[in-house]
Amino acid sequence: MAIITTCLALGLIGGIVTFKSPNRIKLVLFLLFLANFPIFFFAYFGLRLPLDEIIRSFITNNDIYGLIKNFYAPVTEESSKLLVFLPLYFFRKIDFDHLHWYAFAAGLGFGTGEIWFLASVFAQDPYISSLPWYFLGGFLIERLCVCFLHGSFLYGSLYYIFYKKYAYGLLYGFGFHLLTNFPIYVSYVIDLQENMIWIYLLSFWVVIMVGIIMMYVVV
């Protein structure tokens, strides 16, 4: 399923970025894609897990700890994606007129890394790994949408940062990411993680968020 999802993401999102973006920035876009693939693993293993260890050592109340964990993904992932752009930003190597292509190329790389990480996690689950690949259509749709959303979050952040509205830039990415992950937080509260209905509901929610982001950012 990871191979199919990756091929579709590269074909759909990567194809649009490749054929619609100007030739003069294609090499930079490709490098951004490659650079952001491992950045997901840096965000998870290099930032998120160490952060969790530190917070867990200080917070003993499980409810407070659970609440704080909700912010792990938005904070670590959005900040990691922005790190890749620091050299381009400071050396003025970003063409603002085509900022969206930079963002979507980077988001696709980050999202592809996340696809393979989740696939490795699911492969260790006896129930999920026993399912036929066509039973995991929700995963495929959700991951395709998430590849788009990673680029959208990044585009909004970069847009505000370009105009030196740094707080807006950070809050944009963190806020929309937090909102997109809302069903995940709900699933922990009412214990739905193992329920296949929840997987489809999560996919449906992500599709809704894609629509909202497209209206707000793209259109």
Tell me if 144 sits within 8 A of 138, measured CB to CB.
no
| Total domains, the chain | 1
Global pTM reads 0.84
**What b/e readout covers 129-157, taking b as 16+ CB neighbours within 10 angstroms?**
eeeeeeebebbbbbbbbbbbbbbbbbbbb
Domain range for 100 is 2-218
Tell me if 111 sits within 8 A of 38, measured CB to CB.
no
Q: List the one residue out of 102, 59, 56, 101 whose CA is nearest residue 82.
A: 102
Give 97-117 pLDDT, tens digit per residue.
Answer: 899 899 999 999 999 999 999
Structure tokens at 180: 């997109």
Give 161-205 pLDDT, tens digit per residue.
Answer: 888 888 888 888 898 888 887 776 666 666 555 555 666 666 666
